[in-house]
Each structure stands twice: as C-alpha cells, then as structure tokens.
C-alpha cells in the first residue's frame, strides 16, 4: 500500500474532520468504485471524472497503467479504465504505456468504440467532424492489437448502430488481421454481412416470442450467468416456467459471479430466492478461509441507499451486504454489526437472511462511524468496515488490524492511524486480506 500523507484540514461531506491522500491513493479512491459520469450521493459524475483526469498527471505511469488493469480485471469496471488510458495518452510521460494497457483492458468489441467516444468527448462539433481529429499512434496501436482478439460471433454481437462503429476502428487503425480467416471476417464486418449471433437481444429485437426464445436459449445453454440473472424478471413476466429457470440456475457457472449479483437478482425475482441463494452458496464454495476473530461493520446510513448508477437498481448497500455474506461464509469466527446513528449487532444468519437482517437493523440516517468503531473495535483479530466514509464524527486509529473498505469515489475519507485502505467492491477484497495476512 502507498504511504499516506499527513492529515490536512479537510472535511467529509457529512462534516467530520477527514483526511486527504497522496495523488496515487486519491486516484485509486476515485476510480475503483466509479461508474463513469454517474452521479453519486454527494458528488456529481462530471466532477469525479475531472478529478481523475487531473490526478493521472501526478501519478507514475506504471502505477496508472496497473490501476487501469485492476479496475477492469478485478473490479469489473468498463468505462473508468478507458478514461484512465485516455488521460495517459494526453501526458508525455505516460504515452509509452498506452498501447499495451489499452490492449489489455479492452475485453469486449464495443469497448473499442466506447474508448473512441471517450477519447473524442472533449472535441467540438458533430461526431463526423470529431472522427477526423488526430488520434495518437499509441492509441491506434493499442486498438489495432485489441481488435485482433475478437472472433466473428463477438464482433457481430457488439456491432451496433451508433456514432462510432467497429468498422470505424478498423479503418482508423489500419489493423492487420492475424490470418486469412480473420481477414475474411473483417471484410464481412466492413460489408455488413456478418451473420447475426444467436443471442436473446437479437432474437427479441427481431420480434420473436419472449417465452419461447428464453426457453430455447435455456434449453440450449446459451444464456451466460449474468444474462440469466439480469433477465429473471423478464422471463417470469413472459411466462417462462419457474422449473425451467430453476434448472438453469442450478446448471449455470457461478465461479465468476459475486454475491451481490444474486442479492440484486433476488430483488427482482423474490419467488426464486431459494434457488438464487443455493447458487450463491455454490459460488462461495472452496473459497480460502480467514482465520481468527473478525468483526465487520456495515454502513447503513442514508448515502449507502444510493443507486450505484442511473441504469442500475443495485445500491451501494447491496454491494456491502454481498461482501458481508461472503465474509460470513469464509471467516472462522465472525460478528457483524451495522452503524448509522447507532450500532446494532446482527443475528448470526446466512445468505439472504443476513442481507435482510443488515438492511432492517436500524433506520438509515446519519453516519456516526467514529462512535461505531470505538464501540465495536474490541479484542478481535481484525476489524473490517464497509462504508462510503462520509461520517459526521472523527474516526480514530484501529486497535489491531483495521481495514477501511471504501465503496464510493469521494475525494476525502476518514480514519487516522494505521488503517489498511481498500477501494471498490469485489470478492478480491477478502482475497487480498487473506494474502496480506498470510504474507
């Protein structure tokens, strides 16, 4: 972890005496929970994006590149890492790493076009005029390399109408195909002759019957885990039999699905809670254990009720609950508490029952984090706090191992002394704690 600078006279949005951070740590805080240009409870998305842009120039190029990769691969973010690379392309000292970083973080064909839209976002005039704006050699090289990663199915799936098309990327970069087969695919892309992929989006946009389409895709196992979870409400509304959906949940791969995804899905399909909970526990099976005594503090204040993005119904509290559910399963000895204006101990429940106990533990009002830490931090091996750090009161140093897990992008946080700080929400958080303590 980076060394933190000394406390300055700064305040959190709730008024507590907070702390500022090194540029590297401040950039990490801004990026790792960032849905780009989406407003958060206390700050608008534009100001967060502007802060990211200013901080890149103050952080070592290798660190920014590693941060972009971690944001994409560990935190599963798509747009924030693209913004980081755009800012790298604007600074002389960072340019040399742009191609390799861009190639690494582009994992879907539509991210090629999304990057160019972000790259040209500050240019004036219509998009056709922006397309003629200069694009750096490193950006062209990175996009060209990334383009060769995708097959015909992937290109057809994400070749959508828009101001920037995948073929625009091909023309702009003068990419070279890996072989004759890829050259043929790219010609079909340019000519608009790629075969339409067999996905639920394509089938339904073509007017196919929703129930029949979903039942066929389930039977043929053509729905991925996330697509299945995101479409549960639509399937039930279309009349897909509950038994068929339950079988799909039983058969789906769960190794890359985080607990909070199941929590979000259950909000839309409460009748499937038993099946979703069973799948969630399968996703946790075999996870490394965290020995000793663990106390967990979950922030249930009003700001944690905010949605993660305008297009998502998932709240930051859902993400914190998902991490608490995972911690309950992998910790050897664990107690869970919530805090808002008060501190409440949560009964020793599991799965969705634990989520319900956390959410209903107390009214979602203020953030007395300092008082909560002082009350809960007693004789345990470690204390883990899931919060957006926007407290009313100052937060002292932990008595033992203390982990401050920040699930928002705000500039200033709280907590003085040797807190180990983690930004973002991912199953990797608990993996990191296990690895740190093991070392």
Q: Please say if the pLDDT value at position 183 is more than 50.
A: yes
Q: Please say if the pLDDT value at position 263 is more than 50.
A: yes
Q: Dump pLDDT digits (tens) for 65-108.
A: 999 998 888 777 788 899 999 999 999 999 999 999 999 999 99
Asked, for residue 351, whether it belongs to a domain, the answer is yes
The domain spanning residue 414 has which CATH number?
3.40.50.410
Asked, for residue 51, whether it belongs to a domain, the answer is yes
pLDDT, position 4: 34
How many other C-beta atoms can be found within 10 angstroms of the C-beta atom of residue 209?
13
pLDDT, position 137: 94
Asked, for residue 207, whether it belongs to a domain, the answer is no
The mean of the pLDDT values for the chain is 83
- Decide: 378 and 394 in contact? Cβ < 8 Å: no
Judgement on whether residues 378 and 417 belong to the same structural domain of the protein: yes
Sequence-distant (6+) residues with CB within 8 A of 84 are 31, 52, 56, 64, 67, 68, 71
Q: Dump pLDDT digits (tens) for 378-395.
A: 877 899 998 877 777 788
Q: Please say if the pLDDT value at position 413 is more than 70.
A: no
- Decide: 79 and 35 in contact? Cβ < 8 Å: yes
Q: Dump pLDDT digits (tens) for 277-311.
A: 999 999 888 888 899 999 999 999 888 887 665 56
Q: Of 384, 408, 412, give the one whose Cα is nearest residue 398.
A: 384
Nearest-angstrom CA–CA distance, 423 and 240: 39
Q: How far is CA 231 from CA 147, 186, 214, 290, 351, in A?
A: 29, 31, 9, 34, 21
The residue-averaged pLDDT of 231-256 equals: 91
SS3 369: helix
pLDDT, position 131: 57
Judgement on whether residues 248 and 178 belong to the same structural domain of the protein: no
Buried b (16+ CB within 10 A) or exposed e, 365-400: ebbbbbbbbeebbeebbbbbbbbbbbbbbbbbebee
Judgement on whether residues 303 and 413 belong to the same structural domain of the protein: yes
Judgement on whether residues 111 and 251 belong to the same structural domain of the protein: no
pLDDT, position 45: 44
Phi-psi region of 415 (alpha: psi -120 to 50; beta: other; left: phi over 0): left
Asked, for residue 203, whether it belongs to a domain, the answer is no
Judgement on whether residues 178 and 47 belong to the same structural domain of the protein: yes
pLDDT, position 14: 45
- Decide: 373 and 385 in contact? Cβ < 8 Å: yes
Domain boundary, last residue among 167, 191, 215: 191
The residue-averaged pLDDT of 315-344 equals: 89
Judgement on whether residues 372 and 418 belong to the same structural domain of the protein: yes
Who has greater pLDDT, 197 or 102?
A: 102
Tokens of 283: 């996703």
pLDDT, position 246: 93
Nearest-angstrom CA–CA distance, 146 and 308: 29
Query: Per the structure, how many domains does the chain have?
Result: 3
Judgement on whether residues 255 and 320 belong to the same structural domain of the protein: no
Q: How far is CA 407 from CA 226, 299, 318, 338, in A?
A: 21, 10, 11, 15
Nearest-angstrom CA–CA distance, 359 and 282: 23
Judgement on whether residues 329 and 365 belong to the same structural domain of the protein: yes
Asked, for residue 15, whether it belongs to a domain, the answer is no
Q: Please say if the pLDDT value at position 431 is more than 90.
A: no
Model confidence at 1, in pLDDT bands (50, 70, 90)? very low
Judgement on whether residues 43 and 186 belong to the same structural domain of the protein: yes
- What's the domain range around 186? 23-191
In the chain, the largest separation of any two C-alpha atoms, in whole Å, equals 68
- Decide: 55 and 48 in contact? Cβ < 8 Å: no
Tokens of 351: 């799965």
pLDDT, position 74: 79
Strand ordering across the sheet containing 331-339: 343-345, 331-339, 290-299, 382-387, 401-406, 420-423
Percent of the chain surpassing pLDDT 70: 83
Q: Please say if the pLDDT value at position 7 is more than 60.
A: no
Q: Rounded to 5 degrees, what are φ and ψ at 283?
A: -65, -25
Q: How many CA atoms lie within 13 A of 367 on its CB side?
A: 26
Q: Of 149, 66, 71, 64, give the one whose Cα is nearest residue 112.
A: 149
pLDDT, position 305: 80
């Amino acid at each position: 972890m980076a060394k933190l600078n000394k406390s300055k006279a700064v305040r959190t949005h709730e008024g507590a005496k907070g702390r500022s951070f090194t540029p590297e740590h401040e950039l990490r805080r801004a990026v790792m929970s960032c849905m780009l240009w989406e407003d958060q409870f206390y700050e608008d998305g534009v100001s967060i994006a502007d802060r990211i842009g200013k901080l890149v120039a103050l952080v070592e190029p290798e660190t920014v590149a590693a941060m972009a990769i971690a944001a994409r691969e560990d935190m599963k973010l798509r747009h924030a890492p693209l913004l980081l690379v755009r800012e790298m392309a604007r600074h002389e000292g960072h340019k040399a790493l742009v191609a390799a970083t861009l190639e690494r973080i582009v994992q879907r064909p539509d991210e090629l076009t999304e990057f160019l839209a972000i790259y040209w976002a500050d240019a004036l005039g219509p998009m056709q005029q922006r397309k003629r704006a200069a694009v750096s050699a490193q950006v062209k090289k990175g996009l060209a390399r990334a383009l060769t990663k995708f097959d015909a199915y992937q290109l057809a799936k994400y070749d959508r109408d828009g101001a920037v098309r995948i073929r625009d990327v091909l023309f702009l970069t003068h990419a070279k195909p890996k072989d004759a087969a890829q050259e043929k695919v790219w010609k079909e892309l340019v000519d608009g002759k790629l075969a339409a992929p067999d996905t639920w989006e394509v089938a339904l946009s073509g007017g196919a019957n929703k129930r029949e389409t979903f039942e066929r895709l389930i039977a043929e196992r053509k729905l991925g885990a996330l697509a299945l979870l995101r479409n549960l409400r639509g399937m039930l509304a279309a009349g897909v039999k509950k038994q068929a959906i339950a079988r799909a949940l039983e058969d789906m791969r769960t190794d890359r699905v985080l607990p909070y995804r199941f929590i979000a899905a259950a909000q839309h399909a409460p009748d499937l809670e038993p099946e979703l909970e069973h799948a969630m526990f399968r996703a946790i099976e075999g996870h490394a254990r965290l020995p000793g005594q663990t106390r967990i503090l979950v922030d249930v204040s009003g700001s944690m009720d905010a949605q993660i993005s305008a297009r998502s119904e998932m709240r930051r509290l859902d993400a914190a609950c998902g991490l608490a559910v995972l911690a309950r399963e992998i910790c050897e000895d664990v107690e869970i508490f919530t805090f808002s204006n008060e501190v409440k101990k949560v009964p020793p429940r599991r799965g969705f029952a634990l989520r319900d106990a956390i959410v209903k533990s107390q009214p979602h009002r203020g953030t007395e984090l300092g008082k909560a830490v002082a009350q809960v931090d007693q004789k345990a091996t470690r204390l883990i706090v899931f919060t957006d750090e926007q407290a009313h009161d100052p937060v002292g140093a932990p008595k033992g191992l203390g982990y401050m897990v920040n699930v928002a992008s705000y500039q200033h946080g709280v907590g003085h002394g040797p807190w180990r700080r983690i930004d973002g929400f991912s199953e990797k958080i608990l993996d990191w704690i296990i690895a740190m303590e093991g070392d």
